Amino acid sequence: MSISQIARSIAESPTLRMNEEARLLRERGEAVIHLGIGEPKNKTPITALLSAAAKLNTGDIKYSPTDGLPSLKKAIVRYTEENYDKVVAPENIIVSSGAKQSIFNVLYTLINPQDEVLILAPYWVSYPEMVKMVYGIPVIVKPEDGRFHPRMEDIERAVSSSTKLILVNSPNNPSGVMFSDEFLADLIKFCERKGIYVLMDDIYHKLVFRRRRWTPAYKFARQDLESGKVIVVNGIAKAYGMTGFRIGWTIANRRMVEVMTNVQSQITSCTAMVSQAAAEGALNGLQSIVDSLRLTIENNCEVMMQELKAFTGIKTIKPDGTFYCLPDFRAYSHDSVALSDFLLKKAMVVTVPGKEFGMEGHLRLSYAGSIKDVTEGMARIRWALDPSSPTEIYIGDRKMIRDWM
């Protein structure tokens, strides 16, 4: 079989692979704890369910307009006004099958072969692969000071005449760090001057802790939406815990949305109508459910930080939001893939290797699950790695003895 070069070069999503591994182990009856998880455990908001059910009850489930149901776009206009303090028109919005497809469609619409796209490390695993899929060149910018916050000096050094776009995700998967207003202001100013697009992946913007304020990038833009460089992607997956509905959206200038609509019309025609109805229900419904989800996750984060403190030799930066952290495990191993495999084999805990996010020697740990997942998962990791922890532990109903150190 002759697989195309581009398809052959695309790596499997490591986070989805870990999900599958955890599922298979659970199916075999293993007491797996999933600290690799990328979705909250809440039930779908009732307003989303009712709205989807009402649509189903009509029995009239057909194609929707390619760019999304007008009523959903109206809800997104309102959401943008409320959360971004920005008035946008329905013609500035296109709904896609998850923020993932939104990002891909933006890249497909803007990137010519060999255009460079700056990706700020640590980064979401899918960014470099998506850039490669549109024949662009991912250019990774790593903060040289070892922190997880990008610096303008590193970005300015990485920009070339081929730079077309910078991908920004704040609060950030995998570090949980939210970028400062000062940095965003400098970045937007720089990009407007240089004519570089900035794609703001705002998927975690509602999951910000300790009452910190998240600022939309629009606030720093001098140019208006039609002539400006800021593109926004958002969705319902993380804030509403509605990952399975696959709804995301892009806000961009009208010309871009027009072209993205043509592109999407040839790929998926449109997003599933029942999912769009569910998204509309979530966006128009009571928003206190987002606050209670955030509070639960924030509490889990505090517990995770306490657990990590108890660990000898682990350094970690406290997250500002999301449901991830990215502790430095180099005191135990510099090979995060081997470490993650070891923890799965010995302790039945799923983690994601930092290497996949451009941060070797680190592990991405998620606290999106239950408190019990966090405390038990961390106890098992300590047992497997930290010689100062007790040598015996129960994994499920099996008593395990550490005999490798």
Ligand X SMILES: Cc1ncc(COP(=O)(O)O)c(C=O)c1O
The site for ligand X (CB under 6 A) is made up of 38, 98-100, 124, 169, 173, 201, 203, 235, 237, 243, 248
Taking the complex as a whole, how short is the minimal distance between the CB of residue 17 and ligand X, in angstroms?
Answer: 14
Identify the three-state secondary structure at position 382: helix
Residues 349/365, Cβ–Cβ less than 8 Å:
no
- Specify the residue, 106 or 304, whose C-beta has the smaller distance to ligand X: 106
- Specify the residue, 234 or 389, whose C-beta has the smaller distance to ligand X: 234
Residue 302 to residue 304: CA distance in whole angstroms: 5
- Specify the residue, 14 or 361, whose C-beta has the smaller distance to ligand X: 14
The DSSP result for 245-257, as a single string, is G--EEEE--HHHH
- Specify the residue, 119 or 384, whose C-beta has the smaller distance to ligand X: 119
The DSSP result for 34-97, as a single string, is ESS--S--PPPPHHHHHHHHHHHHHT---PPPTT--HHHHHHHHHHHHHHH-----GGGEEEES
Using CA atoms of 339, 343, 349, 350 in order, give the dihedral in degrees to the nearest 10: 30
- Specify the residue, 201 or 298, whose C-beta has the smaller distance to ligand X: 201
Find all residues with CB under 8 Å of 114, minimum gap 6, and list them: 135, 136, 137, 162
Which tokens belong to 68? 């999304």
- Specify the residue, 171 or 376, whose C-beta has the smaller distance to ligand X: 171
Buried b (16+ CB within 10 A) or exposed e, 173-192: bbbbbbbeeebbebbbebbb
- Specify the residue, 289 or 348, whose C-beta has the smaller distance to ligand X: 289
Taking the complex as a whole, how short is the minimal distance between the CB of residue 370 and ligand X, in angstroms?
Answer: 19
Taking the complex as a whole, how short is the minimal distance between the CB of residue 246 and ligand X, in angstroms?
Answer: 7
- Specify the residue, 136 or 248, whose C-beta has the smaller distance to ligand X: 248
Taking the complex as a whole, how short is the minimal distance between the CB of residue 100 and ligand X, in angstroms?
Answer: 3
Buried b (16+ CB within 10 A) or exposed e, 336-357: beebbebbbebbbbbbbbbbbb
Taking the complex as a whole, how short is the minimal distance between the CB of residue 244 and ligand X, in angstroms?
Answer: 9
Residue 405 to residue 400: CA distance in whole angstroms: 14
- Specify the residue, 245 or 383, whose C-beta has the smaller distance to ligand X: 245
Q: In the sheet where 352-353 sits, what is the strand order?
A: 324-325, 363-366, 352-353
Q: Taking the CA atoms of the chain, what radius of gyration do you get in angstroms?
A: 21
Find all residues with CB under 8 Å of 344, minimum gap 6, and list them: 21, 25, 350, 351
Residue 51 to residue 377: CA distance in whole angstroms: 37
